[in-house]
Amino acid sequence: MTLTIRQVDGWRGTAHFVDVAWRVRETSIDRGATRWVPPLRRVIRDALSPKNPFYQHADRALFVAERGGRAVGRVAAIENRAHNQHHNDRVGFFGFFDAVDDEEVSAGLLHHAEGWLRDRALEHARGPISPSMNHESGLLVEGSEFPPAIMTPWNPTYYGRLIEAVGYTGVQDLLGYDITAGTTLAVPDRVRRLAERTARTTGVTFRTLDVGMLEQEARKILDLYCEAWDGNWGFTPPIWDEFWHTAKDLKTVLLRDFSFIAEVDGEIIGFMMMVRDINRVLKHVPSGRLWPTTLLRLVRDLSKVQRGRIVLMGLRSKYRNRGLFPLFAYEAARRAKAVSFEGAEASWILEDNEALTAPMASMGMQPYKRWRIYEKTI
C-alpha cells in the first residue's frame, strides 16, 4: 500500500496528530512488554498549541504518515528562534516522533521535517526535542524495562535504529538516576558528616518552597535557574511567560515537602523542585482522555503516590565548586525519612555535567536510564 505523508494543523489536525501515538503503540512489536504510560492528551495538545508561550519565539509543523487509511507515524518540525539567537546557531528540531517499525515511514517523516527546516535556512536537524529542552527531550536508549517517570519519554527499542538509518548520530546523552528509599536515600555516614560540616562552614539554610506565593517564588527561581544552567549544552533561557506556564501546570503535582530553597544570609543560592510521579496513576488511564472518572481517579489516588521526580535543581555559579551537592542530598534524605517517602528519579542530567555526575558516583549512584539526542546536517 502507498505511503502518504501530509501536514496537519488546526484543532482537528492537531487532535489527529496527538492520536497517532496511540495508533502506533497498538502495532508496536514491543507492545507485549511495553512500559509506555499514555499521557493526558490535553497536555500534549497544550505543548503543540500556538497559544503556548513557547511559540512566542518558535514555529512548528506537524506531519502524519498514513498507509491504507491507517496512521503509521508522526513527527513535528520545530524552529526555536530563541535557541538560535542564544547559541548563534542555525539548528532546527524534530520532536513528538512516533512510527511503526518501518524505515520507509520514519525516513519519509524525517525528510519532510528536514525539508520544512531547510525552507527556513536551518542547517542542522536535532531531536527528539518535544518541543524544547525545557520539555521532553531525547530518545530512550537504555532502561526501557523501567516505567517512565512524569514528563519523560518512553519509546519502543527500535526507534533508535529507525533514526540512525536516516543518517542521524548521537550528539548528547541525558541520564536518569533511581534514588530509592532504604538505599541511596539512606545517606552514608561520611556524606552526612560532610553535609553537616558544609552547612556549618557555608551558612546554608533550607526553607520549603512557599506554594501560596508561587508566582513570586517562581520569579526568583527563574533568575537563579538561568544563571545555574547558563553554558550547559543546549540550554536556552525560557522567557517568563513560558516558565510561569510550566510552573502553574506543575503546581498540582508539586511535592511540597521536597521542593526547597537554599539560602545564605537571606540570599537564594540554590533550589530543588520535585514533583509527584503522576504516571503511577495515569497508567490506569490508557485512553489519555480526561473523563470525569479520570478526574476522580486523579483526585483520589495522586496524593497516595510516594514517588517523585526531581525536575529542577540549580546553584548560583559562585557556589558550584563548594561541595554543596551532598548537602542537598542530605536535606532531601532527611525530608524523605520524615514522611516515609519511597524515592525519586533524578533526570535529566547531561552526561558531561561532571558537577552532578561525579558526586553521584561518589555516593554509589549509577544511571539506570539513558536518553540520546541525535543530530544531522541537512
Which CATH class, in words, describes the domain spanning 179-372? alpha beta
CA distances from 129 to 125, 225, 375 (A): 10, 20, 11
What phi, psi does 300 have (nearest 5°)?
A: -75, -40
250's grid cell: 506543575
Predicted local distance difference test score (pLDDT) of residue 183: 46
What phi, psi does 139 have (nearest 5°)?
A: -110, 130
Domain with CATH 3.40.630.30 in the chain: 3-173, 179-372
Predicted local distance difference test score (pLDDT) of residue 33: 55
Residue 340 confidence (pLDDT) above 70? no
List, for residues 61-112, the tens digit of each pLDDT value.
Answer: 999 999 999 999 999 999 999 999 999 999 999 999 999 999 999 999 999 9
The pLDDT > 70 percentage for the chain reads 95
List, for residues 18-73, the tens digit of each pLDDT value.
Answer: 999 999 988 765 554 578 999 999 999 999 999 999 999 999 999 999 999 999 99
Residue 184 confidence (pLDDT) above 50? no
51's grid cell: 497559544
List, for residues 238-264, the tens digit of each pLDDT value.
Answer: 999 999 999 999 999 999 888 999 999
Residue 287 confidence (pLDDT) above 80? yes
CATH of segment(s) 3-173: 3.40.630.30
Which pLDDT band holds residue 336 (cuts at 50, 70, 90)? confident
CB atoms within 10 A of CB 215: 10
Predicted local distance difference test score (pLDDT) of residue 181: 65
Q: Are 127 and 97 in contact (CB under 8 A)?
A: yes
Is pTM beyond 0.85? Reply is: yes
List, for residues 200-231, the tens digit of each pLDDT value.
Answer: 888 899 999 999 999 999 999 999 999 988 88
